[in-house]
Amino acid sequence: MDKQDKTDKKDKTVFETFIGLEIHIQLITQTKIFCGCRNSFGDPPNTNVCPVCMGYPGVLPVLNEEAVRKSYLMCLALNCTLSEKAVFDRKNYFYPDLPKNYQISQFEHPFGINGYVETTLPDGQAKRIRIHEAHLEEDAGKMIHEGAVSLCDFNRTGTPLLEIVTEPDFKSGEEVESFLQDFRRMIRYLGVSDGNMEEGSMRCDANISINYPGKGLGRKVEIKNLNSSRHVKLAIQHEEIRQAKMIRSGETIIQETRLWNEEKKRTESMRSKEDANDYRYFPEPDLPPFIPTASFIDEIRENLVELPHLRRKRFITEYNLPSETAEFLTDEKGRADFYESVCKEGTDPQTAASWVKGDVAKVLNREKMDITSSPLTAERLVSLLKILDEGKINGQTAKKVLDMIITENRDPVSIITEHSLEQLDNSDELSSIIDSVLAQSSAALEQIKSGDMKPVGFLIGQVMKLSGGKADPKKTKEMIMEKISAL
Ligand SMILES: [Zn+2]
């Protein structure tokens, strides 16, 4: 035994890591899964409750069709095999924030099984993650601990929750972190969930085991309550090291549930893990199995939008964009749609990309606005860029006008007309502004005449200033040089 211990301590083996995820997403619906209470975040405690979601004896659940539709949409996006007959089951356990003392969930016949999803790893490689299943269930409420008192808020109780279980296909915390970002983008594209991890509408538990290379899965430990993709990564990295130390010193890994302690940056034991049979699942007697017709599924399939990773690839090839730009543009569906509408109106894709990624993003960030809810429509940006392209305004003015479109919710043409922002062309006005600048810049003129061209920039700057930014810099330079050589 002694000898064995020593060899283990010297053992420099890098263990193989296996990580599987259980991702819970709250579905976007008007009402809860089995009653008519509002499904909404942030309302005063216990205002969206009724006898059904409070678990009063004798009440009956009625299945929310929108929750079913969104679940199937997600299953289709995850390439799952759909169950011919989806069954709801009771999962029995006591939780103060789920007063029925059971959760209606799915066990043997979930909506979808055996799917997969493509993801891009941090090194740019594509990887296929297998999906074990996706099942629909009701969420529990929220416990609020105030000193010695614990309070229950049942607003969340009965919110439709889709749980997506992956196979243990991840090899590191970094892979999981980048996958979760891809996944969040996907559910937002599909419109099934807002994926907000801080508000708990997307939550993730990670199952992690390590083993000697080639030996297969080790004994898994579940880490719960991970509320950001970064915490998931940190918790996994911590757990890999903890388990490796245990195996090296000959200890046995216990199958248990652990919590991530953000302050101490470590996982801590919470409870030993229940097996499925501890929950005594049985079919929910108050809900018939759901048997979708082919036309029901076809109708849902029509809402299957192009997924973000495919759209990103298409943007790179179709619009000839650098991958970083394509990634930015496809990060949110609204932004990608906006960009494509601008291109469809005939704007050069490179120009459109540089505006959307540059000045448009800058102003929207400053105003804390989303492109879809901002006053900047694709038509307005196209119109502004056309005016710029025709040389009626210069680049500086275009930026100013863009700002005004967003902050004042107005049309570019009316802004330009009202503030007379049209560029001064080869007019008498520009000529007389240049004359007055030259008249006050004798020192600069001497310098230029002696062959030092440096002050030209200064003179252009003075003309721009005097013209209120409306002079065409190129034309101004030409005219300045002409006038100087004629002196
Ligand atoms: Zn209710």
pLDDT of 170: 96
Distance CA 302, CA 14 (A): 47
Is residue 282, in this structure, part of any structural domain at all?
A: yes
- How distant is the alpha carbon of residue 238 from its chain centre? 25
Same domain membership, residue 401 and residue 462: no
Same domain membership, residue 171 and residue 116: yes
Distance 401 CA to ligand 1 centre (A): 49
Same domain membership, residue 111 and residue 136: yes
Distance CA 403, CA 172 (A): 44
Question: With 50 as the cut, is the pLDDT of residue 365 above it?
Answer: yes
Condensed to tens digits (0 to 9), the pLDDT of residues 298-320 reads 999 999 999 999 999 999 999 99
Is residue 152, in this structure, part of any structural domain at all?
A: yes
Distance 34 CA to ligand 1 centre (A): 7
* Confidence tier at 425 by pLDDT (50, 70, 90): low
Same domain membership, residue 227 and residue 82: yes
Same domain membership, residue 191 and residue 279: yes
Higher pLDDT, 444 or 141: 141
Q: What residues make up the domain containing 464?
A: 428-486
pLDDT of 307: 94
Same domain membership, residue 470 and residue 375: no
> In the chain, how many domains are there?
3
Distance 152 CA to ligand 1 centre (A): 15
Distance 283 CA to ligand 1 centre (A): 22
Higher pLDDT, 451 or 115: 115
Distance 293 CA to ligand 1 centre (A): 28
Question: With 60 as the cut, is the pLDDT of residue 341 above it?
Answer: yes
Q: In what order do the strands lie in the sheet with 282-283?
A: 102-105, 89-92, 282-283
Is residue 302, in this structure, part of any structural domain at all?
A: no
Same domain membership, residue 201 and residue 65: yes
Predicted TM-score (pTM) of the model is 0.83
Distance 49 CA to ligand 1 centre (A): 4
Same domain membership, residue 289 and residue 348: no
Q: Contact, 226 vs 204, CB < 8 A?
A: yes
Q: What is the CATH number of the domain that holds 434?
A: 1.10.10.410
Same domain membership, residue 23 and residue 111: yes
Is residue 200, in this structure, part of any structural domain at all?
A: yes
Mean pLDDT of the chain: 90
Is residue 410, in this structure, part of any structural domain at all?
A: yes
Same domain membership, residue 255 and residue 330: no
Condensed to tens digits (0 to 9), the pLDDT of residues 156-197 reads 999 999 999 999 999 999 999 999 999 999 999 999 999 999
Distance 53 CA to ligand 1 centre (A): 4
Is residue 301, in this structure, part of any structural domain at all?
A: no
Is residue 317, in this structure, part of any structural domain at all?
A: yes
